[in-house]
Structure 1
Amino acid sequence: MALDRTVSPRRTGSARRRPAPHTWLYLSVIAAVVLGALVGLVFPAFAQTLKPLGDGFVALIHMMIAPIIFCTIVVGVGSIAKAATVGKIGGLALGYFLVMSTVALAIGLVVGNLVHPGDHLDMRGSTYQATGEASSTHEFVLGIIPTSLFSAFTDGSVLQVLFVALLVGFAVQRMGVRGEPVMRVVRKLQEVVFRILGMVLWVAPVGAFGAMAAVVGATGAGAIASLGLLMVAFYVTCVLFIVVVLGSLLWVVARINVLRLVQYLGKEYLLIVGTSSSESALPRLIAKMEHLGVAKPVVGITVPTGYSFNLDGTAIYLTMASLFIANGMGEPMSVGEQIGLLVFMVIASKGAAGVSGAGLATLAGGLQAYRPDLVNGVGVIVGVDRFMSEGRALTNFTGNAVATILVGRWTRQFDAERARRVLAGALPFDESAVQGHDGHDGGEDASAAEAEREREPERVSV
Structure 2
Amino acid sequence: MAVLAGLVLGALLGFIAKQAEVSWLATTLSRIGEIFVSLVQFTVIPLVFTAIVVGITSLRRLGGPRTAAQLGGRTLLWFAITSLIAVLIGIAVASIGNIGSGVQVTPSEDAVANIAERNPGDWWAFIQSIVPTNVFSAFSEGNILQVVFIALLVGGAAYALGDRASVFVNFNQSAFDIIQKVLGWIIWLAPVGVLGLLGNAFASYGNEFWAPLVSLIVAVYLGSALVLFVVYPVLLRFVGKINPLTFFRKSWPALQFAFVSQSSGATLPLSRQAAVNLGVPRGYASFAVPLGTTTKMDGCAAVFPAATTIFIANLNGIALSFGDYVLIVLVAVFGSLATAGTTGWFTMLTLTLAAVNLPAEVIATGVATVFAINPVLDMMRTATNVAGQITVPILVARSTGTLDETALHAPTDLPLIDEDPEDSADAPAEESRKDKEPVGA
Q: TM-score, normalised by structure 1?
A: 0.81
Please name the residue that 2:203 is paired with: 217
Q: 1:143 to 1:332 in 2, by over 3 A?
A: closer
Q: 1:84 to 1:407 in 2, by over 3 A?
A: farther
Query: In structure 2, what residue type is equivalent to 1:296?
Result: R
Please name the residue that 1:6 is paired with: none
Q: 1:89 Cα deviation (Å)?
A: 0.3
**Does residue 387 of the first structure (1) align with residue 376 of the second (2)?**
yes
Please name the residue that 1:58 is paired with: 37
Distance of 1:111 and 1:156 partners within structure 2? 31
Please name the residue that 1:320 is paired with: 307
Alpha-carbon contact 2:90-2:219 (below 8 Å) kept = no
**Does residue 38 of the first structure (1) align with residue 12 of the second (2)?**
yes
- What secondary structure is seen at the aligned counterpart in 2 of 1:430? coil
- What secondary structure is seen at the aligned counterpart in 2 of 1:220? helix
State the Cα deviation string for residues 159-215 of structure 1 (Å, max 9, x = none). 222222222222222223333343223222211121111122222112211111122
Q: 1:273 Cα deviation (Å)?
A: 3.0
Distance of 1:110 and 1:180 partners within structure 2? 42
- Over the aligned positions, Cα root-mean-square deviation in angstroms equals 2.7
Q: 1:34 to 1:138 in 2, by over 3 A?
A: same
Please name the residue that 2:427 is paired with: none
Q: What pairs with 1:167-316 in structure 2 (closer than 5 Å)? A: 167-314=153-300, 315-316=302-303
Q: 1:366 Cα deviation (Å)?
A: 3.3
Alpha-carbon contact 1:311-1:353 (below 8 Å) kept = no
Q: 1:264 Cα deviation (Å)?
A: 1.6
Q: Report the more deviating stretch, 268-277 or 118-127.
A: 118-127
Distance of 1:220 and 1:355 partners within structure 2? 38
Please name the residue that 1:74 is paired with: 53
- What secondary structure is seen at the aligned counterpart in 2 of 1:273? helix
- What secondary structure is seen at the aligned counterpart in 1 of 2:317? coil
Distance of 2:33 and 2:130 partners within structure 1? 30
**Does residue 416 of the first structure (1) align with residue 405 of the second (2)?**
yes
Please name the residue that 1:8 is paired with: none
Distance of 2:319 and 2:432 partners within structure 1? 42
Alpha-carbon contact 1:408-1:414 (below 8 Å) kept = yes
- What secondary structure is seen at the aligned counterpart in 2 of 1:427? coil
Distance of 2:342 and 2:190 partners within structure 1? 16
Alpha-carbon contact 2:236-2:391 (below 8 Å) kept = yes
State the Cα deviation string for residues 281-324 of structure 1 (Å, max 9, x = none). 10222233223321133212211221222110011111111111
Q: Report the more deviating stretch, 180-189 or 69-78.
A: 180-189
Please name the residue that 1:11 is paired with: none
Please name the residue that 1:396 is paired with: 385
Distance of 1:128 and 1:310 partners within structure 2? 37
Alpha-carbon contact 1:268-1:281 (below 8 Å) kept = yes
Query: In structure 1, what residue type is equivalent to 2:105?
Result: M
Distance of 1:92 and 1:84 partners within structure 2? 14
Q: 1:33 Cα deviation (Å)?
A: 0.5
**Does residue 333 of the first structure (1) align with residue 320 of the second (2)?**
yes
Query: In structure 2, what residue type is equivalent to 1:54?
Result: G
Structure 2 residue ranges without an equivalent (≥5): 420-430
**Does residue 429 of the first structure (1) align with residue 418 of the second (2)?**
no
Distance of 2:418 and 2:30 partners within structure 1? 48
Q: 1:387 to 1:434 in 2, by over 3 A?
A: same
Q: What pairs with 1:136-151 in structure 2 (closer than 5 Å)? A: 136-151=122-137
Give the one of 116, 123, 127 matched to 2:105. Answer: 123
Alpha-carbon contact 1:121-1:215 (below 8 Å) kept = no
Q: 1:84 Cα deviation (Å)?
A: 5.3
Q: 1:280 Cα deviation (Å)?
A: 0.7
Give the one of 356, 362, 372 matched to 1:374. Answer: 362
Q: 1:452 Cα deviation (Å)?
A: 8.8
Q: What pairs with 1:83-102 in structure 2 (closer than 5 Å)? A: 83=62, 85=64, 86-102=68-84
Alpha-carbon contact 1:195-1:457 (below 8 Å) kept = no
Q: TM-score, normalised by structure 2?
A: 0.85
State the Cα deviation string for residues 68-121 of structure 1 (Å, max 9, x = none). 112211222123333255321011111221222232222111111101112222
Q: 1:77 to 1:51 in 2, by over 3 A?
A: same
Please name the residue that 1:112 is paired with: 94
Query: In structure 2, what residue type is equivalent to 1:292?
Result: L
Q: Report the more deviating stretch, 387-396 or 213-222.
A: 213-222
Distance of 2:341 and 2:63 partners within structure 1? 21
Query: In structure 2, what residue type is equivalent to 1:255?
Result: K
Distance of 2:3 and 2:253 partners within structure 1? 27
Q: 1:351 Cα deviation (Å)?
A: 5.4
Query: In structure 1, what residue type is equivalent to 2:371?
Result: V
Distance of 1:317 and 1:159 partners within structure 2? 20
State the Cα deviation string for residues 396-427 of structure 1 (Å, max 9, x = none). 000110011111112222113431x23xxx13
Distance of 2:118 and 2:221 partners within structure 1? 36
Distance of 1:127 and 1:271 partners within structure 2? 45
Alpha-carbon contact 1:349-1:362 (below 8 Å) kept = yes
Distance of 1:119 and 1:354 partners within structure 2? 35
Q: 1:461 Cα deviation (Å)?
A: 2.2
Count of paired positions? 414
